[in-house]
Protein backbone atom coordinates (compact mmCIF):
# COMPACT_ATOMS: atom_id res chain seq x y z
CA UNK A 1 0.00 0.00 0.00
CA UNK A 2 1.25 3.50 -0.83
CA UNK A 3 1.30 5.66 2.30
CA UNK A 4 2.34 9.24 2.89
CA UNK A 5 5.92 9.03 4.07
CA UNK A 6 8.98 11.19 4.53
CA UNK A 7 12.66 10.41 4.57
CA UNK A 8 14.00 10.08 8.10
CA UNK A 9 16.47 12.97 7.66
CA UNK A 10 13.63 15.30 6.63
CA UNK A 11 11.52 14.13 9.57
CA UNK A 12 14.41 14.76 12.00
CA UNK A 13 15.03 18.28 10.67
CA UNK A 14 11.32 19.13 10.98
CA UNK A 15 10.74 17.59 14.39
CA UNK A 16 13.90 18.24 16.39
CA UNK A 17 16.66 20.82 16.81
CA UNK A 18 18.94 18.77 14.54
CA UNK A 19 19.59 19.53 10.88
CA UNK A 20 18.93 17.11 8.07
CA UNK A 21 22.67 16.52 7.63
CA UNK A 22 23.04 15.54 11.32
CA UNK A 23 20.87 12.45 10.83
CA UNK A 24 23.65 10.17 9.61
CA UNK A 25 25.74 10.91 12.71
CA UNK A 26 22.70 10.34 14.99
CA UNK A 27 22.17 6.98 13.27
CA UNK A 28 25.85 6.04 13.64
CA UNK A 29 25.62 6.94 17.34
CA UNK A 30 22.55 4.62 17.61
CA UNK A 31 20.38 7.46 18.93
CA UNK A 32 17.28 6.96 16.76
CA UNK A 33 14.73 4.17 17.22
CA UNK A 34 11.97 3.62 14.63
CA UNK A 35 9.19 1.37 15.91
CA UNK A 36 11.63 0.04 18.51
CA UNK A 37 14.40 -0.75 15.99
CA UNK A 38 17.64 1.18 15.52
CA UNK A 39 17.47 3.41 12.43
CA UNK A 40 20.00 2.36 9.77
CA UNK A 41 19.65 4.92 6.96
CA UNK A 42 18.89 8.63 6.59
CA UNK A 43 16.62 7.65 3.70
CA UNK A 44 14.44 5.31 5.75
CA UNK A 45 10.74 6.02 5.38
CA UNK A 46 8.81 7.53 8.27
CA UNK A 47 5.02 7.49 8.01
CA UNK A 48 2.44 9.27 10.15
CA UNK A 49 2.27 6.10 12.30
CA UNK A 50 5.97 5.33 12.75
CA UNK A 51 6.95 5.59 16.43
CA UNK A 52 10.09 7.77 16.52
CA UNK A 53 12.41 8.03 19.52
CA UNK A 54 15.49 10.27 19.55
CA UNK A 55 17.59 9.55 22.65
CA UNK A 56 14.80 9.36 25.22
CA UNK A 57 12.62 11.96 23.52
CA UNK A 58 9.51 10.70 21.71
CA UNK A 59 9.18 12.66 18.45
CA UNK A 60 6.07 10.91 17.19
CA UNK A 61 3.59 8.43 18.67
CA UNK A 62 0.39 8.10 16.59
CA UNK A 63 -1.73 4.95 16.68
CA UNK A 64 -3.51 4.06 13.45
CA UNK A 65 -7.15 3.07 13.90
CA UNK A 66 -9.33 1.09 11.48
CA UNK A 67 -12.95 0.44 12.46
CA UNK A 68 -15.88 -1.33 10.83
CA UNK A 69 -19.42 -0.27 11.77
CA UNK A 70 -22.87 -1.63 10.97
CA UNK A 71 -24.75 1.62 10.39
CA UNK A 72 -28.46 1.68 11.28
CA UNK A 73 -31.08 3.70 9.38
CA UNK A 74 -31.43 7.34 10.39
CA UNK A 75 -27.76 7.71 11.36
CA UNK A 76 -25.86 10.24 9.30
CA UNK A 77 -22.47 9.44 7.72
CA UNK A 78 -20.86 12.58 9.09
CA UNK A 79 -18.70 13.40 12.06
CA UNK A 80 -20.95 16.30 13.22
CA UNK A 81 -24.65 16.94 12.70
CA UNK A 82 -27.07 19.14 14.62
CA UNK A 83 -30.16 17.08 13.78
CA UNK A 84 -29.22 13.42 13.57
CA UNK A 85 -27.15 10.86 15.39
CA UNK A 86 -23.82 10.54 13.57
CA UNK A 87 -21.73 7.43 13.01
CA UNK A 88 -19.19 8.91 15.48
CA UNK A 89 -21.90 9.08 18.17
CA UNK A 90 -22.19 5.27 17.90
CA UNK A 91 -18.51 4.64 18.60
CA UNK A 92 -16.82 4.11 21.93
CA UNK A 93 -13.23 4.16 20.70
CA UNK A 94 -10.95 6.60 22.64
CA UNK A 95 -9.61 8.09 19.37
CA UNK A 96 -13.03 8.40 17.74
CA UNK A 97 -12.72 12.17 17.30
CA UNK A 98 -9.65 11.71 15.06
CA UNK A 99 -11.50 9.46 12.61
CA UNK A 100 -12.96 10.12 9.19
CA UNK A 101 -15.42 8.06 7.16
CA UNK A 102 -14.34 6.00 4.17
CA UNK A 103 -17.25 5.99 1.69
CA UNK A 104 -20.44 7.46 3.11
CA UNK A 105 -23.87 5.84 3.16
CA UNK A 106 -27.13 7.76 2.81
CA UNK A 107 -29.19 8.49 5.92
CA UNK A 108 -31.57 5.60 5.30
CA UNK A 109 -28.99 3.12 4.01
CA UNK A 110 -27.80 0.52 6.50
CA UNK A 111 -24.62 -1.52 6.66
CA UNK A 112 -20.89 -1.46 6.35
CA UNK A 113 -19.03 1.78 7.04
CA UNK A 114 -15.27 2.03 7.54
CA UNK A 115 -13.65 4.69 9.72
CA UNK A 116 -9.97 5.48 10.13
CA UNK A 117 -7.41 8.16 11.00
CA UNK A 118 -5.15 6.91 8.20
CA UNK A 119 -5.68 9.23 5.23
CA UNK A 120 -3.42 7.25 2.90
CA UNK A 121 -5.41 4.06 3.59
CA UNK A 122 -8.79 5.65 2.98
CA UNK A 123 -7.57 7.40 -0.18
CA UNK A 124 -6.28 4.13 -1.53
CA UNK A 125 -9.53 2.28 -0.76
CA UNK A 126 -11.57 5.01 -2.44
CA UNK A 127 -9.46 5.30 -5.61
CA UNK A 128 -11.46 4.16 -8.67
CA UNK A 129 -8.35 2.26 -9.86
CA UNK A 130 -8.42 0.11 -6.72
CA UNK A 131 -11.73 -1.32 -7.99
CA UNK A 132 -12.71 -2.63 -4.59
CA UNK A 133 -16.01 -4.51 -4.89
CA UNK A 134 -18.86 -3.23 -2.71
CA UNK A 135 -22.00 -5.35 -2.46
CA UNK A 136 -25.44 -3.93 -1.74
CA UNK A 137 -28.69 -5.68 -0.90
CA UNK A 138 -31.47 -3.75 -2.60
CA UNK A 139 -35.27 -3.80 -2.30
CA UNK A 140 -37.15 -1.91 -5.01
CA UNK A 141 -40.74 -0.77 -5.60
CA UNK A 142 -41.24 -2.23 -9.11
CA UNK A 143 -40.51 -5.77 -10.34
CA UNK A 144 -36.97 -6.40 -11.60
CA UNK A 145 -36.34 -7.77 -15.10
CA UNK A 146 -33.36 -9.31 -16.89
CA UNK A 147 -32.91 -6.00 -18.77
CA UNK A 148 -31.50 -4.45 -15.59
CA UNK A 149 -28.65 -6.97 -15.58
CA UNK A 150 -27.63 -6.02 -19.10
CA UNK A 151 -27.95 -2.24 -18.58
CA UNK A 152 -25.99 -2.30 -15.30
CA UNK A 153 -23.24 -4.39 -16.92
CA UNK A 154 -23.01 -1.96 -19.88
CA UNK A 155 -22.96 1.11 -17.60
CA UNK A 156 -25.33 4.05 -17.21
CA UNK A 157 -24.51 7.61 -18.27
CA UNK A 158 -24.62 10.06 -15.36
CA UNK A 159 -25.09 13.45 -17.03
CA UNK A 160 -24.22 15.45 -13.89
CA UNK A 161 -20.68 14.02 -13.73
CA UNK A 162 -20.48 13.30 -17.48
CA UNK A 163 -19.38 9.71 -16.80
CA UNK A 164 -20.64 6.22 -17.56
CA UNK A 165 -20.76 3.88 -14.56
CA UNK A 166 -18.27 1.00 -14.45
CA UNK A 167 -19.64 -2.47 -15.25
CA UNK A 168 -21.79 -3.57 -12.31
CA UNK A 169 -23.06 -7.04 -11.49
CA UNK A 170 -26.74 -7.45 -10.60
CA UNK A 171 -28.02 -10.70 -9.19
CA UNK A 172 -31.82 -10.81 -9.06
CA UNK A 173 -32.85 -12.72 -5.94
CA UNK A 174 -36.62 -12.30 -6.20
CA UNK A 175 -39.13 -10.03 -7.93
CA UNK A 176 -38.20 -7.03 -5.73
CA UNK A 177 -34.84 -8.01 -4.27
CA UNK A 178 -31.37 -8.04 -5.73
CA UNK A 179 -27.69 -8.04 -4.86
CA UNK A 180 -25.68 -5.36 -6.66
CA UNK A 181 -21.87 -5.32 -6.84
CA UNK A 182 -20.15 -2.02 -7.70
CA UNK A 183 -16.47 -1.17 -7.97
CA UNK A 184 -16.93 2.58 -7.49
CA UNK A 185 -18.96 4.91 -5.30
CA UNK A 186 -20.58 7.83 -7.08
CA UNK A 187 -23.04 10.05 -5.24
CA UNK A 188 -26.33 8.10 -4.60
CA UNK A 189 -25.07 5.63 -7.18
CA UNK A 190 -27.37 2.69 -6.42
CA UNK A 191 -30.51 4.83 -6.27
CA UNK A 192 -29.58 6.62 -9.49
CA UNK A 193 -28.93 3.32 -11.30
CA UNK A 194 -32.37 1.99 -10.39
CA UNK A 195 -33.71 5.46 -11.10
CA UNK A 196 -32.73 4.90 -14.72
CA UNK A 197 -35.69 2.47 -14.79
CA UNK A 198 -37.86 4.83 -12.68
CA UNK A 199 -37.66 2.18 -9.99
CA UNK A 200 -37.48 3.49 -6.45
CA UNK A 201 -35.08 1.91 -3.96
CA UNK A 202 -37.09 1.14 -0.81
CA UNK A 203 -34.28 -0.39 1.24
CA UNK A 204 -30.52 -0.44 0.79
CA UNK A 205 -27.90 -2.29 2.81
CA UNK A 206 -24.13 -2.42 2.15
CA UNK A 207 -23.13 -5.97 3.00
CA UNK A 208 -19.43 -6.02 2.09
CA UNK A 209 -16.43 -3.99 0.95
CA UNK A 210 -13.71 -6.15 -0.63
CA UNK A 211 -13.26 -9.11 1.71
CA UNK A 212 -14.75 -7.26 4.71
CA UNK A 213 -18.19 -8.30 5.93
CA UNK A 214 -20.40 -7.46 8.89
CA UNK A 215 -20.41 -10.98 10.34
CA UNK A 216 -21.12 -10.81 14.08
CA UNK A 217 -21.91 -7.07 14.12
CA UNK A 218 -25.48 -6.07 14.97
CA UNK A 219 -26.86 -2.75 13.71
CA UNK A 220 -25.11 0.06 15.58
CA UNK A 221 -22.15 -2.09 16.62
CA UNK A 222 -18.54 -1.52 15.59
CA UNK A 223 -15.16 -3.12 16.16
CA UNK A 224 -11.50 -2.72 15.24
CA UNK A 225 -10.43 -4.52 12.03
CA UNK A 226 -8.19 -7.50 12.70
CA UNK A 227 -4.64 -7.73 11.33
CA UNK A 228 -5.84 -10.46 8.93
CA UNK A 229 -8.69 -8.27 7.67
CA UNK A 230 -6.30 -5.36 7.16
CA UNK A 231 -3.78 -7.38 5.21
CA UNK A 232 -6.54 -8.98 3.12
CA UNK A 233 -7.93 -5.59 2.10
CA UNK A 234 -4.45 -4.16 1.51
CA UNK A 235 -3.93 -6.88 -1.13
CA UNK A 236 -6.24 -4.84 -3.39
CA UNK A 237 -4.19 -1.64 -3.03
Residues with active-site annotation: 106
Q: Does 105 bind ligand URA (CB under 6 A)?
A: yes
Shortest CA distance to 216 belongs to which of 231, 204, 203, 226? 226
Judged by CB under 6 A, which of 39, 68, 112, 204 binds ligand URA? 204
Q: Do 34 and 50 contact (CB within 8 A), yes or no?
A: yes
Shortest reach from residue 134's CB to ligand URA, in Å: 8
Shortest reach from residue 198's CB to ligand URA, in Å: 15
Phi-psi region of 135 (alpha: psi -120 to 50; beta: other; left: phi over 0): beta
- Looking at the Cβ atoms of 105 and 178, the one nearer to ligand URA is 105
Judged by CB under 6 A, which of 31, 45, 123, 191 binds ligand URA? 191
- The piece of 2-10, 25-33, 114-122, 183-191 that touches ligand URA (CB under 6 A) is 183-191
Could you tell me the maximum CA-CA distance found in the chain, to the nearest angstrom? 73
Q: Does 109 bind ligand URA (CB under 6 A)?
A: yes
Chain centre to alpha carbon of residue 195? 26
Upper half-sphere CA count for residue 231 (Cβ side, 13 Å): 2
Q: Does 84 bind ligand URA (CB under 6 A)?
A: no
Q: Do 158 and 182 contact (CB within 8 A), yes or no?
A: no
Which residues contact ligand URA by CB under 6 A? Answer: 105-106, 109, 188-191, 204
Amino acid sequence: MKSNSYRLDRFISQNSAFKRADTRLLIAQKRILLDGQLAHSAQQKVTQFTHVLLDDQCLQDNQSVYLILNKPQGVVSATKDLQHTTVLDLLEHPQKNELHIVGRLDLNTTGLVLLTNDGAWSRQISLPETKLAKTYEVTVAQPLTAEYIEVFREGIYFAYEGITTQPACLEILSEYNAKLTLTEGKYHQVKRMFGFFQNQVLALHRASVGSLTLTGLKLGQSRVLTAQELSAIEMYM
